[in-house]
Structure 1
């Protein structure tokens, strides 16, 4: 790689990071109101997930507020939205933003429980209205039935018997996928930070240091560039198949010390301004096993097939199958989807059940294929996706890939370096 990690960031560089304007706010609110008009809605209720939800967080509230995640938004078809905040400290954050805040102080309220939502709906005279709700639909991949609690929703419905609610999350999310020029600039900034995270991890990784040091180098690269990112997936070893947070992130066990001929796999998540990117960092330290080399070549072939086919007017399912074809032809197995949507993450490619060929998998009886989610959706310029093609033979698994933006001509690789196996 030509780029080198520079830990000495000039303040002038940080100040050049892209921001959102009030024009972007108006574009978003107008888009939501057009959606309401087309669907016969008088308001939208947007329930945001907890601010520490991690990767693939459900933070649609931020799209409306450009503020701290973890709030609830009530947007009427006419007028300014009401923003329900969970605690007084959120109000202090809003206060410090000043005149650039998207929602004025008079529309900020403390408390986002069900009673607070009911009161806000009553205050806007919406007790006999059609209200679209974001938060009731499945939040892929962590909340297959949505994350709004039963007691919360039951109380709202019982106290507003004449209001009609409908889940609109999937439909509205498809509008959000077509990003504006400002959003694309923020997305590219996030991708650049992600590239420096990967570079920092590459430079520090060597036998004798711990996984934790590699992890810390990537996190520090992001923090020093002015963003706070979610945790990342990472594992190391000769034949390690894990692909989640490092085990020392959730149970008492020491981080592994890297050895010669190890393989490191990391899924690096970067987030800046509510735009997310993903970077598949695959590093072979020393010699590469013949089967791992073969897996890396197949994974790269899948990646290139995806680049060739993804373009406007193509169906998502067609791209998903193109990314799977070389893997299935080679007889390998895949650890997860070869492609999924991002900003927001509502599309997931097919996961075949070919991972049953792992010898230990016979211990797990409920193994089945996961079908492509929303295969018929037509791709359009401004959408972003994550390519994460994997291939494995036996216990030799390699995953490559990164974030792809679609423009009028096809695929734009926002972080091309992770489309290949790194070697050291």
Structure 2
């Protein structure tokens, strides 16, 4: 329970007597147990000297080997009695919460049973807990990268005129599983061809690939809960619009610049500026519509965020993406995304695929 001890230290430093955790990455990180967010609430209430699960009876085998207290409920009686049972002996002036994850369902049970009347956002505490990755965590992320890269390379020959975005995405997903990804992928792969590539978070459609267009593929794999997140852009045929070819080179240089600047002790906003300034100087700044990167680990988007004017100072062990992009309406788009680890003072790219434009 080393991770739990670390959390308690952070709670002390932030003068917080208790926090509540719901199913998701933080619960998995602290306990090694995974649950679904469902109509049956599961919460773990953590104090300095105690930790208590409130959960459905059917889920109790998952925590049988954990050194925690538990209160269970069944489907007939529902969760209210279990929360009230805990409240009879425990009330807190303040209770730290995961504001991006916890729902009204859990908040209402905690408040109406008078466990607390005051919620405090503990997002920053959980970010501090998980941002610096251990060597074991990095090993998992490297494996997730290898699974993703090997899977894509094995299906690139499928990209031909007439194949649809959805057809290619389905083949890629099958390869990810066959090559060893956990069943829970980081996200459904983005396959965006032609004008669809001007939408950064495009969902694959029945659009067919065509000669003379760029194709953005954004995909990842999972290893023991840890994610990879990679994007490469490909050209189908040689007759690509000159504006897109020039934009590709700009994005490639922006990616390189940000990777070079990313170091321990550098502000996240400085890394963003290293990429953004190159794109803006090229005259394409209006088409770079998102941050340069985001933290990566048990969540596909977590701290630190590589965004404009972010004063957060990057530290040893942190992992994040570098993914500048240009999206030109009615023409197409480019994104080149790498997974970065601050191994020591310098950054190391966990991704190994070429960043040169590959003509298929």
By the TM > 0.5 criterion, same fold?
Answer: yes
Q: What do the CA deviations read for 1:222-266 (whole angstroms, capped 9, x no partner)?
A: 211141213122221356423335254xxxxxx222222232112
**Preserved CA contact (<8 Å) 1:401 1:420:** no
Match of 1:257 in 2: 208
C-alpha displacement of 1:27? 2.2
CA distance in 1, matches of 2:247, 2:156: 20
Aligned residues: 343
Distance 1:91 1:77 in 2: 23
Distance 1:415 1:219 in 2: 19
Pair 1:47 & 2:22 matched:
yes
Aligned twin of 1:246? 203
Q: Give the structure 1 partner of residue 90 of structure 2.
A: 126
Matched, 1:321 2:321: no
1:300: how far off? 0.6
CA contact (8 A) 1:114 1:156 kept: no
Deviates more, 1:286-295 or 1:230-239: 230-239
Give the SS at the match of 1:179. coil
Task: Report if the CA contact (8 A) 1:43-1:77 is conserved.
Answer: yes
SS in 2 for 1:416: coil
Q: Look up the match of 1:235.
A: 192
Aligned counterpart, 1:75: 46
Q: CA deviation at 1:194?
A: 1.6
The 3-state SS of whatever aligns with 1:208 is: coil
> What secondary structure sits across from 2:227 in the alignment?
strand
User: Aligned to 2:4, which of 22, 29, 38?
Assistant: 29
Quote the offset at 1:323 in angstroms: 1.4
- Whole-angstrom distance in 1 between the partners of 2:226 and 2:166: 26
Take 1:111 and 1:383, find their aligned partners in 2: how far apart are those partners? 41
Q: Which blocks of at least 5 consecutive residues in structure 2 are unaligned?
A: 37-41
Match among 212, 218, 236 for residue 172 of structure 2: 218
CA distance in 1, matches of 2:81, 2:215: 48
Alignment check: 8 A CA contact 2:145 2:220 kept: no
2:313 aligned partner: 378
Quote the residue 1:60 is aligned against.
26
Q: Does 1:107 align with 2:64?
A: no
Deviation at 1:130, TM superposition (A): 4.0
Q: Secondary structure at the match of 1:346?
A: strand
Name the counterpart of 1:398: 334
Map 1:269-284; keep pairs closer than 5 Å: 269-284=220-235
Question: Are 1:148 and 2:103 an aligned pair?
Answer: yes
CA change 1:320–1:152 in 2 (3 A) is: same
* Residue 271 (structure 1) shift: 2.4
Q: Distance in 2 between matches of 1:245 and 1:397?
A: 11
**1:193 paired residue among 123, 147, 154:** 147
- 2:323 matches 1:388: yes
Q: Could you tell me which residue of structure 1 aligns to residue 346 of structure 2?
A: 410
CA shift at 1:163, angstroms?
A: 5.7
Tell me the CA shift for residue 274 of structure 1. Answer: 2.4
2:301 aligned with 1:336 = no
Q: Deviations over 1:59-89 (max 9, x none)?
A: 322112222243432223224x33344673x
Residue 121 to residue 87, structure 1, CA distance change in 2 (3 Å): closer
Residue 105 of structure 1 deviates from its aligned partner by 8.8
CA distance 1:418–1:156, change in 2 (3 Å): farther
Query: RMSD of aligned C-alpha atoms?
Result: 2.9
CA distance in 2, matches of 1:115, 1:317: 45
Q: Deviations over 1:141-200 (max 9, x none)?
A: xxxxx6522x64244223217665322112321331011121111111111112123213
1:207 lines up with 2:161 in the alignment: yes
The alpha carbon displacement at 1:413 in A equals: 0.7
Task: Tell me, in whole angstroms, the C-alpha distance in 1 between the residues paired with 2:140 and 2:204.
Answer: 32
State the secondary structure of the residue aligned to 2:220: strand
Q: Which runs of 5+ in 1 are unaligned?
A: 1-25, 49-57, 140-145, 249-254, 351-370
